Chains A and B, each alone.
Chain A
Amino acid sequence: MIRFLLNDQPRDIEYIAPDLTILEYLRTIEVQRGTKEGCASGDCGACTLVLAEPSEEPGKLLYRSINSCITFVGSLHGKQLITVEHLQQGQQLHQTQQAMVECHGSQCGFCTPGFVMSLFALSKNSGVCEFDPQASNGEAPGNQPVNPEQRHQINLALGGNLCRCTGYRPIMDAAAQVLADVQPDQFDARQAEVWQQLMDIRTAQAPMAGLTDPGCPVKPLTERRFFSPQTLAELVELLARYPQARLVAGGTDLALERTQQLKPLDVLVYTGAVAEMQQLTLTDETLIIGGAVSYSRMASTLQLVLPEFASMMERLGALQVRNQGTMAGNVANASPIGDTPPVLLALDALLHVDSAEGQQTLPVNGFFTGYRQTTLPKGAVISAIEIPLNKSDWFRRVYKVSKRLEDDISAVLAAIMFKVENGLILDARLAFGGVAATPLRVVAAEQALIGQPATLAGISAAQQILKQTLTPLTDVRASAEYRLQLTQNLLTRALLEFQQQANSDGSASVALEVGHYA
């Protein structure tokens, strides 16, 4: 059984399909249809809802937006699910709704509930910027143009919500209006009470949270279950007991098997409630990121020690995906176009792998063996990712190139890092996504950099090697030729940026990336 709050109503659910999405649940079982399906693949945000979870600070809840179309009901245990129908009080619209109305933020209205929910989450987190703790604290006065920092904050919050009608300007205005003066609301008033309710659910002595399908029309004899273990030991035991089980971390890719290919997912094991996998540990030497830590949660820590990684991550999926997705999931998924594996390769990261046999540590270098194939043993889980922080004196860049700035999959992702002393490259890492069947470190090109001067001439041999050794595909996102050209040109860009940084004598530098210019 799982227990959660649907707005302010408790729900106990035991018998339900384990692969039912929250969106399907709301629209067909609860018959609450304010939440819309735009794509059922987590790409448009029309189904955005907000989850409230207890924070470590007593009485305080954390609010985060999610795509309900690719989130399973089973993951709701111990959480509050807030839907668009619940924001208004009687005839009184919530501040976020009122702002959307006043700014003419809706035209056809179909994307609007999703925008309202993202805006609601933004208003709840207005003092907590996802990536840059220095960014605007929402003090912008109402009559000023949306300033760049605030615009950036709004773009991060709403980048996963597509609108085809408005061109977004009025929605941007509505968001700025809300951020200028966030009003206390009924959620604030009940926050402590809800916090306690959710804590009570979470600490109740009960069997492991989970769901059981009452009867599956497709495979009547198959056991169909959703498990939400609370410890790593429980988790690996489940994996041993159910060899067919699929792990759900963020589930932002796994859910598409169900919503797009319509495959039943019979046994699901959710990592989100496993205490050990929620740890985020930063020391002088390493950053250890628990396997269930979402991208959003790791953002501010990454910003401290690996800012180039953090700023790329602002463009990994959209906020709804970053609120769910995990780095461990990205690695285990082993897609050649995943955004974090090339960076982890360049950083010489290690994977903590747990199974019924015990724990082992695998270097990420060598982990990817073929298209979506890894050396992860059967019945094992990536419980954490360990990033050595031994490249602080390296020049490090992470570049993502895609058709669209926000919420797009890379044509090429490049992690380029080198250590230079006295003008000579002493060591280097070149890792790419989108150029082969796996995320790839190009050791031969790294070798060609070592000993060379940090100049355009010095990198040309490495560029030749990239050109000769990489074998990208032509697909819907980019041609092989473009990808190959990008790998070389991005190395050029990194070198130019290095030179600019090295020569920075106070004279104005010239922008080299459109993102820096615009």
Chain B
Amino acid sequence: MRKVELQGASSPENELTLATNPSAIPNGIAGLDLVSGPVGKPSRHESAIQHVTGAARYVDDLIEPANGLFAAVIRSPIARGTITRMDLEPVRKSPGVVCVLTVDDVLGHTDIGPVFPGDPIMTSTEVKFFGQCLAVVAATSELAARRAAQAAILEFEREEPLLDAREAVASQQLVRPSHVMTMGDVDSALASSHQVLEAMQEVGGQEHFYLEGQVSLAMPTEDGGMLVYTSSQHPSEVQKLVAEVLALPLNRVTVDMRRMGGGFGGKESQAAQWACLAALLASKTGRAVKLRLPRQDDMIMTGKRHPFANSYRIGIDEAGRITAADIEVIGNCGNSPDLSDAIVDRAMFHADNAYFLGNARIAGHRAFSNQVSHTAYRGFGGPQGMMIIERAMDDIARAVGKDPLDIRKLNLYGTEQSEPERTLTPYHQTVEFNYLPQLIEQLETSSDYRARRVAIRQFNQHSPILKRGLALTPVKFGISFTLQHLNQAGALIHIYTDGSIQVNHGGTEMGQGLHTKVGQIVAQTLGVELERIVVTATRTDKVPNTSPTAASSGTDLNGKAAQNAALTLRQRLVEFLAAEKTVSPEAIRFENGRVSWGGSEDMSFAELVQAAYVGRVSLSATGYYRTPKIWYDRTNARGRPFFYFALGAAVSEVVVDTLTGEYRVTRVDILHDVGRSINPAIDRGQIEGGFIQGMGWLTTEELVWHADGRLLSNNPATYKIPAIGDTPPVFNVALFEHENDEATVYNSKAVGEPPFMLAISVWSALRDAISSLSDYRLSPDLDTPATPERVLKAVMAVQAQCAQNGMTGGAV
């Protein structure tokens, strides 16, 4: 075990440990020394100092150009209907107003759907969701613009909104066609199963609640083009859509993105609309225009994590091993496709989670509803898909009378050594390098699962009101965009004559530490100190045609592209120095900002750079990367959509009040696989942050829609993300360090999304606590979010059922 020195993470219970494989030999880039150098070190976030001093600038902090304008959006107060009157004269006459635009003023494209059409930038006819954008106003101050927007006179012919996903599927109101994955013969396997279990499940959506809301600042350029500062995970798409609505070629539009105050998927496709609206107003007025959504507008007008309606029919053998699984997942997509095709696909790809299903049919439906178009959110449908199989695991355990952990272990995918016949997924990718059995074993021991299980059973027998619950759940998450062409990236590195280095790449910084990791990778590759490197704002005029920073791919793709650019520069410097000193290139070493060529002689990196410049060597290079091995034949639902899988597991313990449904998470132990960590502090931050965000999704974060389609939970007073007291007092996080068997950058693994799903253990532990009321014979329904209200409902349902069956109940 190797301990990683982390400032401030010094308490024994919170120690970050790395379980190393002593036999592992670094197999990264030949000639690069991983013992020294920045890779693997817990460097602080590149902007940490700016963050704590308030110096870090977000788009809203940029000083607006003189006579710049501020925009506000006029949004629909109803969810479905036809606009019969839209009188904007009072808006135009409001103090400070300079410009008011509707969809009729758009010269170029009016549909800004990212993949499929269906997202009008504004509408003046049909309204499909509450909050839909009807018009936009620019004024001399933000308050003036927002007050003016309130003055619009709007009348509608209302229609009954469709809100229920199952109802939409029943009436075939879908935003995209359904899709099915099959393996084996489910129907006959079900028929011959020892037992068949069935259940339905409603999984709630989730508001992103990035602390920085959506914002863009558009500035007209001299050639009729546009410079856009935006908070977006996908600057290239913003560039394309701004160009399209303005009817410009892409080369006239530049998008600059320094940092986001959080993204989580919410700024993947849905940052574009605000940039486009600001650009339209800027184009019309010839003045800079800033459009920032106030929190309530942001919560109402932008899509969420898809709520899902899931169900399963699962056949098991006597031991509780799955023989067949017939699973249906329905994503409530809202009013348009947006990214829903891929999101529901990913839910289907993860409806097996870590378990071999034998025979499987996984059907995925993309339901239409009169809600805002639901969009990407950390996990991208994967978490919603996993929820159904994790529910099944607990249900099977109660049905056969075993510990849910034993049922989970029994159903895990096989490994190359053990049960290789159990390694095929329902989409016909073979699971390779499955370390989950080993990882779970390790966590089971380190978390003291068995002894705690015994202690909890004893506690529950003697505690009339409070009941404790425990659960271990695993995660196996597929890494790669399932849309193949997005799996590419570019980078651009300049070395200046003083030896300082500027790095630019296609990924965006949203807090996840991507720029820090890319800086470490470049510093490692060039053998220089991290301080020598600056990673600059993502800009479409530096690295073009980029993919969104999404699918946890940021470091895998951009890190590799930056490494390739650095290798090109390194090679040039090696060749130059080898010729200068007449030594073999193999003798040249870059380390700690110094360059040596055998013997005792060396020089600083800056001296070499200066010499190379004088020697007329190009000190600027691009790098490019595309992910190998991946393919997917969607027509036949088979292929290898994922380059590899990220793995992990968590044990959560809860205590539940059976009088009120209130609960606390008292302890969490996590063991998570990040391959070889490029930055253990950042990786730990992603694991802990992802876990808590996932816990919020499954517990307190409740989206509430009125029957008329209005979102009622539209501000942080009514929508509750976790606060500091929700973080468990015991929170042990360890990295399962096992270098990625695939040749990723420094054999690391993606870490953005996978830990999110570790939080399913909290939900499962709540069900465990409730199940204790029936002496673990009943498996309670517990839709999510499992608010205290839903927990109490489940408690009362179990108590009622126990009373009915004459079972020992836990009622007072």
CA distance A482 to B702 in the complex (A): 15
CB distance from A278 to the nearest CB of B (A): 28
**Cross-chain contact A482 with B465 (CB below 8 angstroms):** no
Q: Give the one of B50, B655, B702 with max A CB within 10 A.
A: B655
Q: Give the one of A146, A169, A407, A411 with max B CB within 10 A.
A: A169
Contact among A106, A161, A218 with B147 in the assembled complex (CB-CB below 8 Å): A218
Known contacts A39-B716, A107-B685, A167-B693; is A262 also within 8 Å of B143 by CB? yes
Known contacts A101-B48, A104-B44, A262-B146; is A517 also within 8 Å of B8 by CB? no
Task: Find the A residue at minimum CB distance from B149.
Answer: A262
CB distance from B143 to the nearest CB of A (A): 7
Residue A173 is within 8 A (CB to CB) of chain B in the complex: yes
CA distance A160 to B723 in the complex (A): 8
**Cross-chain contact B466 with A174 (CB below 8 angstroms):** no
**Cross-chain contact A170 with B685 (CB below 8 angstroms):** yes
Residue A498 is within 8 A (CB to CB) of chain B in the complex: no
Task: Find the B residue at minimum CB distance from A491.
Answer: B659
Residue A124 is within 8 A (CB to CB) of chain B in the complex: no
**Cross-chain contact A106 with B58 (CB below 8 angstroms):** no
CA distance A404 to B695 in the complex (A): 12
**Cross-chain contact A38 with B727 (CB below 8 angstroms):** no
**Cross-chain contact B8 with A518 (CB below 8 angstroms):** no
CB distance from A107 to the nearest CB of B (A): 4
Known contacts A162-B721, A518-B666; is A85 also within 8 Å of B655 by CB? no
CA distance A276 to B787 in the complex (A): 44
Known contacts A143-B10, A145-B14, A477-B718; is A168 also within 8 Å of B692 by CB? yes
Q: Which residues of B sit under 8 angstroms from A113, Cβ to Cβ?
A: 51-52, 54
Residue A453 is within 8 A (CB to CB) of chain B in the complex: no
Residue B95 is within 8 A (CB to CB) of chain A in the complex: yes
For this complex, into which size category does the number of interface residues on chain B fall?
35 or more
Task: Find the B residue at minimum CB distance from A456.
Answer: B812
CB distance from A454 to the nearest CB of B (A): 15
CA distance A41 to B715 in the complex (A): 8
Residue A31 is within 8 A (CB to CB) of chain B in the complex: yes
**Cross-chain contact A85 with B8 (CB below 8 angstroms):** no
Residue B45 is within 8 A (CB to CB) of chain A in the complex: yes
Task: Find the A residue at minimum CB distance from B693.
Answer: A164
CA distance A456 to B700 in the complex (A): 31
Contact among A84, A479, A514 with B662 in the assembled complex (CB-CB below 8 Å): A514
Known contacts A84-B53, A165-B685, A476-B704; is A41 also within 8 Å of B295 by CB? yes
**Cross-chain contact B7 with A102 (CB below 8 angstroms):** yes
The proximity string for B residues 262-301 relative to A, scoring 1 for CB distances below 8 Å and 0 otherwise, is 1110000000000000000000000000000011100000
The proximity string for B residues 709-753 relative to A, scoring 1 for CB distances below 8 Å and 0 otherwise, is 000110111101111111101010000000000000000000000
Residue A266 is within 8 A (CB to CB) of chain B in the complex: no
Residue B550 is within 8 A (CB to CB) of chain A in the complex: no
Query: At the interface, is chain A mostly helix, strand, loop or mixed?
Result: loop
Binds A, one of B76-84, B387-395, B508-516: B508-516
Known contacts A36-B212, A97-B52, A165-B262; is A107 also within 8 Å of B7 by CB? no
Contact among B42, B51, B147, B796 with A262 in the assembled complex (CB-CB below 8 Å): B147
Residue B462 is within 8 A (CB to CB) of chain A in the complex: yes
CB distance from B645 to the nearest CB of A (A): 23
Residue A260 is within 8 A (CB to CB) of chain B in the complex: yes
Q: Which residues of A sit under 8 angstroms from B55, Cβ to Cβ?
A: 34, 85
CA distance A409 to B700 in the complex (A): 13
**Cross-chain contact A514 with B261 (CB below 8 angstroms):** no
CB distance from B97 to the nearest CB of A (A): 11
**Cross-chain contact B146 with A403 (CB below 8 angstroms):** no
Contact among B14, B661, B681, B704 with A104 in the assembled complex (CB-CB below 8 Å): B681
CA distance A36 to B56 in the complex (A): 11
Task: Find the A residue at minimum CB distance from B692.
Answer: A167
Q: Which residues of A sit under 8 angstroms from B717, Cβ to Cβ?
A: 41, 43, 409
**Cross-chain contact A164 with B10 (CB below 8 angstroms):** no
**Cross-chain contact A164 with B721 (CB below 8 angstroms):** yes
Q: In chain A between 454 and 494, which residues have their CB closer than 8 angstroms to a CB of chain B? A: 456, 475-479, 482, 485-486, 489-490, 492-493
Residue A163 is within 8 A (CB to CB) of chain B in the complex: yes
**Cross-chain contact B659 with A517 (CB below 8 angstroms):** no
Q: In chain A between 154 and 193, which residues have their CB closer than 8 angstroms to a CB of chain B? A: 154-155, 158-174, 177
**Cross-chain contact B724 with A154 (CB below 8 angstroms):** yes
Residue A151 is within 8 A (CB to CB) of chain B in the complex: yes
**Cross-chain contact A104 with B662 (CB below 8 angstroms):** no
Residue B636 is within 8 A (CB to CB) of chain A in the complex: no
Residue B809 is within 8 A (CB to CB) of chain A in the complex: no
Binds B, one of A234-242, A289-297, A368-376, A505-513: A505-513
Q: Which residues of B sit under 8 angstroms from A407, Cβ to Cβ?
A: 723
**Cross-chain contact B7 with A482 (CB below 8 angstroms):** no
Known contacts A112-B52, A145-B14; is A485 also within 8 Å of B8 by CB? no
Contact among A44, A88, A93, A101 with B716 in the assembled complex (CB-CB below 8 Å): A44
Contact among B212, B656, B693 with A110 in the assembled complex (CB-CB below 8 Å): B212
**Cross-chain contact A164 with B14 (CB below 8 angstroms):** no
The proximity string for B residues 356-398 relative to A, scoring 1 for CB distances below 8 Å and 0 otherwise, is 0000000000000000000000000000000000000000000
**Cross-chain contact A169 with B511 (CB below 8 angstroms):** no
Residue B801 is within 8 A (CB to CB) of chain A in the complex: no
Q: Give the one of A84, A145, A146 with max B CB within 10 A.
A: A145
Known contacts A112-B51, A513-B657; is A36 also within 8 Å of B724 by CB? no
CB distance from B57 to the nearest CB of A (A): 7
Residue B120 is within 8 A (CB to CB) of chain A in the complex: no
**Cross-chain contact A173 with B14 (CB below 8 angstroms):** yes
Task: Find the B residue at minimum CB distance from A318.
Answer: B723
Known contacts A148-B729, A164-B262; is A108 also within 8 Å of B150 by CB? no
Residue B60 is within 8 A (CB to CB) of chain A in the complex: yes
CB distance from B733 to the nearest CB of A (A): 8
Residue A83 is within 8 A (CB to CB) of chain B in the complex: yes
Task: Find the B residue at minimum CB distance from A409.
Answer: B717
The proximity string for A residues 200-238 relative to B, scoring 1 for CB distances below 8 Å and 0 otherwise, is 000000000000000001100000000000000000000
Q: Which residues of B sit under 8 angstroms from A142, Cβ to Cβ?
A: 10
CA distance A482 to B792 in the complex (A): 8
Residue A401 is within 8 A (CB to CB) of chain B in the complex: yes
Q: Give the one of A85, A166, A456, A476 with max B CB within 10 A.
A: A476
The proximity string for B residues 672-703 relative to A, scoring 1 for CB distances below 8 Å and 0 otherwise, is 00000000011011001111110000001010
Q: In chain B between 38 and 81, which residues have their CB closer than 8 angstroms to a CB of chain A? A: 42, 44-45, 47-58, 60-61, 63
**Cross-chain contact B211 with A169 (CB below 8 angstroms):** no
CB distance from A129 to the nearest CB of B (A): 16
Q: Which residues of B sit under 8 angstroms from A165, Cβ to Cβ?
A: 262, 511-512, 685, 689
Q: Which residues of B sit under 8 angstroms from A84, Cβ to Cβ?
A: 52-54
CB distance from B338 to the nearest CB of A (A): 22
Q: Which residues of B sit under 8 angstroms from A477, Cβ to Cβ?
A: 718
Q: Which residues of B sit under 8 angstroms from A103, Cβ to Cβ?
A: 7-9
Known contacts A103-B9, A164-B693, A478-B789; is A108 also within 8 Å of B209 by CB? no
Pairs A-B, 8 closest by C-beta atoms: A34-B54, A108-B511, A110-B261, A103-B8, A109-B51, A167-B692, A107-B511, A43-B716
17 new A-B pairs (CB below 8 Å) besides A109-B56, A518-B729? A33-B61, A93-B52, A106-B511, A108-B210, A110-B212, A111-B211, A143-B11, A146-B729, A161-B724, A164-B208, A166-B685, A168-B726, A218-B95, A411-B789, A493-B465, A517-B466, A518-B664
8 A-B pairs in the complex with CB atoms less than 8 angstroms apart = A34-B54, A88-B53, A104-B42, A113-B51, A144-B11, A165-B689, A496-B812, A517-B666
Which residues of A are interface residues toward B (Cβ below 8 A)? 28, 31, 33-41, 43-44, 46, 83-85, 87-88, 93, 97-113, 116, 142-146, 148, 151, 154-155, 158-174, 177, 217-218, 260, 262, 401-409, 411, 456, 475-479, 482, 485-486, 489-490, 492-493, 496, 510-515, 517-518
Which residues of B are interface residues toward A (Cβ below 8 A)? 6-14, 42, 44-45, 47-58, 60-61, 63, 95-96, 141, 143-144, 146-147, 150, 208-213, 259-264, 294-296, 462-466, 510-513, 655-657, 659-664, 666, 681-682, 684-685, 688-693, 700, 702, 704, 712-713, 715-718, 720-727, 729, 731, 787-789, 792-793, 796, 812
